Chain A
Amino acid sequence: MELDNELVGSEYKYGFVTEIEADHVPPGLSEDVVRLISEKKGEPEWLLDWRLKAYRYWVKLEKSEAEPKWANVRYPAIDYQSIIYYSAPKAKKDAPKSLDEVDPELLATYEKLGIPLNEREALAGVAVDAVFDSVSVATTFKDKLADMGIIFCSFSEAVREHPELVRQYLGSVVPYSDNFFASLNSAVFSDGSFCYIPKGVRCPMELSTYFRINAAQTGQFERTLIVADEGSHVSYLEGCTAPMRDENQLHAAVVELVALDDAQIKYSTVQNWYPGDKDGKGGIYNFVTKRGKCAGRNSKISWTQVETGSAITWKYPSCILQGDGSIGEFYSVAVTNNRQQADTGTKMIHMGRNTRSTIISKGISAGHGQNSYRGLVKVLKGADNARNYSQCDSLLMGSECGAHTFPYLEVKNNSAHIEHEASTSKIGEDQIFYCRQRGIKEEDAVGMIVNGFCREVFRELPMEFAVEAQKLLGVSLEGSVG
């Protein structure tokens, strides 16, 4: 099979740097930096205490060299003292109250990214809470949501306006002592999104946040907390692009979801951060802890992710199925091209009775990419009639890449019904031949076959995202078959 090599290593399309004066703290991490971050954000005492606890725990972990090493990824040691832990777009004393007050350069950036912030109302019911580096600069549709009692705001604002909710749920799913990167995040998180859906409310639109990493050498540590109260329903989108940089940038976010009785949360991600150049120089380290707790009866949490970017992805969106009859879902497409490495998957912890989980994971490796699925399905003693179905498929494009599968199945209850399937293959020459025979160009045929391979995941995405995801996949893989 011979393909046009012109397209090999198509350049990253979103590589530009916006010149905005940033308000930095000096590089390095110490108790003072944690205090400074907290002070800059005007946080209450209890939150500072929590950050400090996390910081002290992290120091202990770092001293005992507890930075996780088990993932199937390779990278040079990170110097945590050379990272700038806080950077906010220069505050003009008062935060912008409307778009007119927003830095025009910032708006131009969004334009390049194609976030239609200024036509947002026209944008099919998507409310965008844009996180530019670390501080939220604009939120939309707020009033409409507020009328229904939905709280959707930046994390900092939530700390100010709804401290009781934040205090109740912060760290309830991912405690500060959870893992190395979660501890780091808990100590220095700058901002993120907070969402609360009150009892019985069905959120009328997809909630969306675009994260963007800017300002060289800035780790970004967002924290997202979504709470769906009894009988409520919310769909949340997260999409990412980042400018081209040479230094590796660390991104250690934490996402916590809580679903109470009969509540449903759907969390969709399209991740397209800078993956580094063809030789693996630069790119984002994406070390993220995402976890949802189905705390209530018949609650449901569904993760959908399309991971095409980042030099290294280390991410396991998980579900704790605590409530009886609760449901966890994980749909994932992960693409690694050039020198990208991904170690991603999920954990489904079955605690309640009649809990169900589904895992569909599609890994695509091209170039020198290394793609690992790592998943855990755990059925605890009391989880009668737990049901799990897992399917992990890998597609290999090119002879230099690798696909790995590490599923762990731990079952302590005999009424459980667990099925796991995995397969690895390449695009069949007969499939290509069939398409060519019908006059379809080779690269189009590859695109069609890859899209078909990922279909089960894409159809879980909301409409706008599905379109974007398909395009992204095409861009990420262009010219990688041959």
Chain B
Amino acid sequence: MMERGAEEQGYLEDFEKLTARVSSNGGAWLADLRNRAMKRFRALGFPSTRDEEWKYTSVEAVRKAPLRIADSSGADTVRSPAPFAAAGWDRYELAFPGTGNGAGGARSDGVFIGPLADAVDARLPWVESHLARHADYEDHAFRALNTAFMEDGAAVRLDPGRTLDKPVHLAFPAPSGEARNRIAHPRTLVVVGAGSRLTLVETYTGSDADTCCTNAVTEIVLEEDAVLDHYRLLRQGEKAFHIGTVQVYQARNSRYRSHSVTSGGAITRVEINARLDGEGADCQLQGLYVAGGRQHVDSRTVIEHAKPHGTSRELYKGVLNDRARAVFNGKIVVHEEAQKTDARQSNKNLILSRDAEIDSKPQLEILADDVRCSHGTTIGQLEEDELFYLRSRGLDPAVARKLLVHGFASEILDGIAIELLKDGLTAQVFSELEA
């Protein structure tokens, strides 16, 4: 274990301040959870590139930045979030920090949409039984930190058999304010009851002005036959760090569809992990990462098939420009019991500049015999003959390239079912590709 330096010290001080402030909230179990997680973080320290899980992503810059938690007294102003908000699509929205504007707070009729703190204070039984039960912090320093510091964030619960008429939008602007070097630990818990359907949109946005860090954890529980469409859209500022985990627990016959679109940020790492813990569960992960400048973007997924007859499909695509570096690590684990699993994974990368770099590590770990699993990875630049084809039809090279790159990215963007969101996002990603 590495020596704890002054870097970790700041977190300890912050933790004391936080516990003093929130000690009365949520009961003993939460205080106990925070303490255990903090203890774990102190034991783990920040990961280094010597850890296999962090081999290609150095978080030295995050470790060294004197990051302190954002003051929740309200002194920190909320930055104007997001081009996403401008899209004008119909939704229930909660923005953080602060309470939900508009539809926030508890809703009647078997639906709860509100700040996590409210759900904790109301001692809703599903909070205690699920919070931090799925996103394991034992060997993950950032998840441990988030668990120790969680304060702002959302709780969403649909009782069995409910369908919401509109998507739920959780907006997280990057922490900022008068002081630089803020870190925020948004925590979200989503529990979708048996047979319920939900569309969830999480957006993380930030300005280019100052160094900041978002360390987010979202836990999702899908009970039997539940269906969740999940959009996780990330558009961070140039100097922002983003470490995020989505941990999904899937019961029998549940369906989880994830669309993750990532752009911007100095260092971005998004982990999406699903555990298919009931027969016949289905998991679909789609991802697009776009990076330029000196950005570093790391996408990791773990799909764990624990029960028979599960299916999973995964497609992650990346477009790299300038001196950007992208990392993809997709793991499919099939447990002994999970016979008749059908899992496919694909990672495709387009490198547009000489100095960009890609490290891809698809992984299969299979312990059952009656399965069909495959993965594929491609890394390359635009095909000469495709360009030639377009040029032979009179398109100039720049237009031809643009067309091909857009086509490459559209495969993921077209999967977004909310039309206005899709249009807004597509326009934004395309403009970034041209920048």
A: residues with CB less than 8 A from B are 70, 394, 396-426
Contacts and interface: CB of A to CB of B under 8 A. Distances in A.
B356 interface: yes
A396 B366 contact: yes
B366 A426 contact: no
Interface in B351-388: 351-354, 356-381
Nearest to B343: A424
Interface in B31-66: 52
B336 interface: yes
Q: Is the interface of A mostly helix, strand, loop or mixed?
A: strand
Contact of A403 (B351, B359, B366, B370): B366
A399 B367 CA distance: 7
B336 A419 contact: no
Contact of B376 (A70, A398, A403, A421): A421
Interface residues of B, number: 34
B311 to A, nearest CB: 15
Contacts of B360: 408-409, 411, 420
B339 interface: yes
Report the 3 A-B pairs with minimum CB-CB distance, sorted nearest first: A414-B351, A396-B369, A423-B374
A414 B366 contact: no
27 contacts: A396-B366, A396-B371, A399-B370, A400-B336, A401-B369, A404-B365, A405-B365, A406-B361, A406-B363, A407-B377, A408-B359, A412-B357, A413-B354, A414-B353, A414-B354, A416-B379, A419-B376, A419-B377, A420-B375, A421-B374, A421-B377, A422-B362, A422-B364, A423-B373, A424-B373, A425-B372, A426-B369
B364 A409 contact: no
A402 B365 contact: yes
A409 B374 contact: no
B366 A424 contact: yes
A409 B376 CA distance: 11
A303 to B, nearest CB: 22
A22 B200 CA distance: 74
A399 B351 contact: no
A399 B375 contact: no
A414 B381 contact: yes
Given A424-B371, A424-B373, A425-B371, A409 B366 contact: no
A414 B352 contact: yes
Which one of A404, A405, A407, A421 has the highest number of Cβ atoms from chain B below 10 Å of its Cβ? A405
A409 B354 CA distance: 17
A410 B377 CA distance: 12
A405 B362 contact: yes
A411 B364 contact: no
B53 to A, nearest CB: 12
B404 to A, nearest CB: 14
Contact of A418 (B353, B370, B380): B380
A401 B368 CA distance: 7
Contact of A420 (B351, B372, B373, B377): B377
A407 B361 contact: yes
Nearest to A390: B377
B378 A419 contact: yes
A396 B371 CA distance: 9
Nearest to B334: A424
Given A399-B339, A401-B369, A404-B366, A420 B376 contact: yes
Given A416-B351, A416-B380, 18 more contacts: A396-B370, A397-B369, A404-B364, A406-B361, A407-B361, A411-B351, A414-B353, A417-B379, A417-B381, A418-B377, A418-B378, A418-B379, A419-B378, A420-B377, A421-B375, A422-B362, A424-B364, A424-B373
A253 B371 CA distance: 36
Nearest to A394: B366
Nearest to B358: A411
Nearest to B362: A407
A482 to B, nearest CB: 11
B369 A409 contact: no
A420 to B, nearest CB: 4
A111 B368 CA distance: 42
Contacts of B354: 413-414
A404 B351 CA distance: 28
A246 B177 CA distance: 69
Contacts, number: 110
Nearest to B326: A411
Interface string B321-352: 00000000000000010010000000001011
B374 A408 contact: no
B359 A411 contact: yes
Nearest to B325: A412
Contacts of A399: 336, 339, 368-370
A411 B320 CA distance: 12
Which one of A398, A414, A425 has the highest number of Cβ atoms from chain B below 10 Å of its Cβ? A414
Contacts of A394: 364, 366
B348 to A, nearest CB: 10
Contact of B380 (A398, A417, A425): A417
A418 B380 CA distance: 6
B380 A424 contact: no
A413 B359 CA distance: 11
Contacts of A420: 360, 362, 375-378
B369 A411 contact: no
Interface in B59-76: none
A240 B150 CA distance: 59
Contacts of B368: 396, 399
Given A396-B371, A411-B357, A414-B351, A403 B377 contact: no
Interface string B378-404: 111100000000000000000000000
Which one of B353, B359, B367, B370 has the highest number of Cβ atoms from chain A below 10 Å of its Cβ? B367
A408 B357 contact: no
A351 to B, nearest CB: 16
Nearest to A413: B354
A409 B336 contact: no
A415 B364 contact: no
A397 B371 CA distance: 11
Contact of A398 (B356, B362, B369): B369
Nearest to A392: B364
A407 B381 CA distance: 21
Given A394-B366, A417-B380, A422-B364, A409 B358 contact: yes
A420 B372 CA distance: 17
Which one of B339, B353, B381 has the highest number of Cβ atoms from chain A below 10 Å of its Cβ? B381
Contacts of B367: 401-402
Nearest to A379: B379
A124 B132 CA distance: 68
Contacts of A398: 369
Contacts of B353: 414
Contacts of B380: 416-418
A283 to B, nearest CB: 22
Given A399-B336, A402-B366, A403-B364, A409 B372 contact: no
A399 B374 CA distance: 18
A397 B366 CA distance: 12
Interface string B200-230: 0000000000000000000000000000000
Contacts of B361: 406-409
Nearest to A403: B366
Contacts of B377: 407, 409, 418-421
Given A397-B369, A399-B339, A411-B359, A422 B381 contact: no
Contacts of B365: 402, 404-405
A447 B377 CA distance: 31
Contacts of A422: 362, 364, 374-376
Nearest to A374: B363
Interface string B297-335: 000000000000000000000000000000000000000
Contacts of B378: 418-420
A130 B169 CA distance: 73
Contacts of B379: 409, 411, 416-418
Contacts of A402: 365-367
Nearest to A402: B367
Contacts of B52: 70
